[in-house]
Structure formats: structure tokens, C-alpha cells
Amino acid sequence: MKKLLVVAAIGLTSVTFGQQLPQYSQYNRNQFMVNPGAAGMYDFTDITIGGRYQWAGFSNAPMTAYAYGSTVLTRNKARYNPSLRTSNGPIIAPEVNTGKLKHALGGQFITDQYGAFRKISFAGTYAIHLPVTRKHNLSFGTKIGLSNSMFLQDRATVLTSMPGYTGPSINDSEYDAFIANQSSLNFLDIGAGFYFYSNDMYIGISADQLTRDMVKFGSGTVNFDPNMHFNFTAGYKIPLNDNLSLMPSALIKYMPRAPLTIEGAVQLEYNERFWLSTSYRHADAVVVGLGGVISNKFKFGYSFDMSLSKFNKYSFGGHELILGIMLGR
């Protein structure tokens, strides 16, 4: 082909060889984002709305917007006594409820754009939580949904149109035919996860895109090639004194034909309300974050990713901002 398509390397890489799912820096504050088994940890409707902008400074840099929500079907009525709801107690982070059988429903909506590609997905989740001890639960969750992947012609750059090119315009029938045949493809998206947790620790393992491209419909010749993704998470809270606690945690991600991604984090929480965190994503970035509980209904979080790769010379880092809504707490 005389006219070459330059679909930002980040887009091409993530479709073919790298992680195909969005990267989150604040997964530690909402495990449901990486494991469907974590839906329903809290005895209220927990909603997280967020946005992520990676590699600021690059044209067509990856951008992600998402919404996650979950609720339990049977609540502990003792926690919802009107006298408790109207009390003027301190504003603190919510505690998970363990020691009883729970059923939970959840949902997610994600739009992820990288280079000349866009992926929109939505899914519903069901999770069952089984009491192991009074303070520990084991849950299993599964999700089912659809994802739509599309090629964005207006975001593709061809060499003959790049700044500084002074040669003649070239008509390329192969490229034109390729563009004419692009539309979008839809894939069935099934995931599952196990999650063992208490108010002070968690261990989870989950998998996404289990059916790959077995069930798909739509048109187009771009090979999006969805692959299975596996996540392992773990964290443990260590009390330091009456006001401070420290939680080291880890996230390991694996996708066939891609390097193993390992991330370690440390989170410092003050007065069970405000938190600071730092994490290291191997060979990728150092992340710092902060957040807190604004009221009994709202919480927030912000994180900044500083790239450690060669792109650091050209990028201003990445930003992620979330707003949490707690209904019926």
C-alpha cells in the first residue's frame, strides 16, 4: 500500500498485543471495577462515576468514561433503623457487611477510546455472598453484556496527509476499499469472579471476555480479536493508631500474548474518611492519589499517573477523577 494508515501505536498495540480493557488507578477504592464478585459488598446502592485521560499531550490519547453501580437485594434491616439514619454521627467511610447470605445486582457502562478505535460496553452483574465467618464472606459474581468495537476513520492519519509532506496526492484503491468496509462489530461479553473479603482485607480473582469472539455480529474487516483477561487482587488494612491505617495492596493482570502487568500500592487512611495513596505499575507509571468521603451520600477520588516509559518526554501524565454516590446508606 502506497498510502499507509497510521493508527496511533497505542491503539494498534492495545488491540493486538496489549491489554484490551481500560486501565484503572483507583480500583482499590471500588473492587467492583475489576471483579464482578465485589458487587454488593455494601448494604446500600453504591454508584461510581468516573473519567480517565491518559498520556495528556498526545493527539487522540486514550480516554475512558465509566459508570458502575451495585445494590443488595436483601438488606440488614437493623442498619436501616430511622433513628440511625437521622442521627448526627461522624462522617466515615462505609463498612462492608459480612456474616450473612446476600444477593446483589449491578451494572456497568464503559466507553473507551484509543487512537482510531472506540469501544462501548455495558453489562449486568449478579453476585451471591456466602458467610464464611461472622467477619468474612466469600462471593461469586458473573456478568453478561455486549461490547461494540468500531474503527474511527476521521481519527486515522495517512502519511500523505501528514505535516511536511510535499509529494503528489496518491489514490490507493486498497486503502479506500478498506475504509469503505469498516463499520462496527458487537461481541457477547461474559465475565466472572471470586471474592473473599472482610472489612480489613480482600483477595479476588476474576476473568473478562471469556467467550472472546465466539458470539459476534455486525460488519467490518478490522480484527479486534478480544482475548481473555485475568485479574488477581489482594489487600490488607493495618491499623497504626486510632486515626490512621495503612493498606498495602497488589493487582496482577494477565492476558495471553501480552506481558504480565504487576502493580503494588500503599494507601494511608485518616480518621476512616480521607485517604492518600501511591502505587507503582511495573515499567509503566508511578501513581499518586487522594480522596475522601464528603458526606454520608458522596465520596470522591483523584489520581495522577506519571509515566516511566519513553513517552514521559512527550506526555503530561494521566488523570483519573471519580465521584461516588451512596444511596440508602
The percentage of residues in the chain with a pLDDT greater than 70, rounded to a whole number, is 76
pLDDT at 112 (0 to 100): 92
pLDDT at 13 (0 to 100): 37
**Using an 8 Å Cβ cutoff, are 147 and 121 in contact?**
yes
The percentage of residues in the chain with a pLDDT greater than 90, rounded to a whole number, is 59
What is d(CA 326, CA 296) in angstroms, rounded to the nearest whole number?
7
Confidence of residue 291 (pLDDT cuts 50, 70, 90): very high
Over range 262-276, report the average pLDDT.
96
Look at the block and give the residue holding cell 485475568: 230
Confidence of residue 6 (pLDDT cuts 50, 70, 90): very low
Confidence of residue 5 (pLDDT cuts 50, 70, 90): very low
Kindly provide the residue ranges of all beta strands, DSSP E only, lying in the chain, ordered along the sequence.
Answer: 5-6, 45-53, 63-72, 102-114, 117-131, 137-151, 157-158, 184-197, 201-208, 216-218, 229-236, 238-239, 244-254, 261-270, 274-281, 285-293, 298-307, 318-327
Over range 227-253, report the average pLDDT.
96
Over range 266-281, report the average pLDDT.
96
Confidence of residue 98 (pLDDT cuts 50, 70, 90): very high
What is d(CA 250, CA 269) in angstroms, rounded to the nearest whole number?
17
Q: What is the mean pLDDT of the chain?
A: 84
From 25-29, 141-145, 299-303, the region with the lowest mean pLDDT: 25-29
**Using an 8 Å Cβ cutoff, are 85 and 120 in contact?**
no
Over range 174-178, report the average pLDDT.
65
65-81 pLDDT, tens digit each: 999 999 999 765 544 44
pLDDT at 8 (0 to 100): 37
Over range 253-279, report the average pLDDT.
94
From 77-81, 97-101, 151-155, 235-239, the region with the lowest mean pLDDT: 77-81
Confidence of residue 164 (pLDDT cuts 50, 70, 90): low
Q: How long a stretch of residues is the chain?
A: 329
Q: Is the pLDDT confidence value at 189 over 70? A: yes
pLDDT at 12 (0 to 100): 38
35-63 pLDDT, tens digit each: 999 999 999 999 999 999 887 666 667 89
Q: Is the pLDDT confidence value at 272 over 50? A: yes
Q: Is the pLDDT confidence value at 265 over 70? A: yes
3-state class (DSSP) for residue 227: coil
Look at the block and give the residue holding cell 465509566: 66
pLDDT at 311 (0 to 100): 66
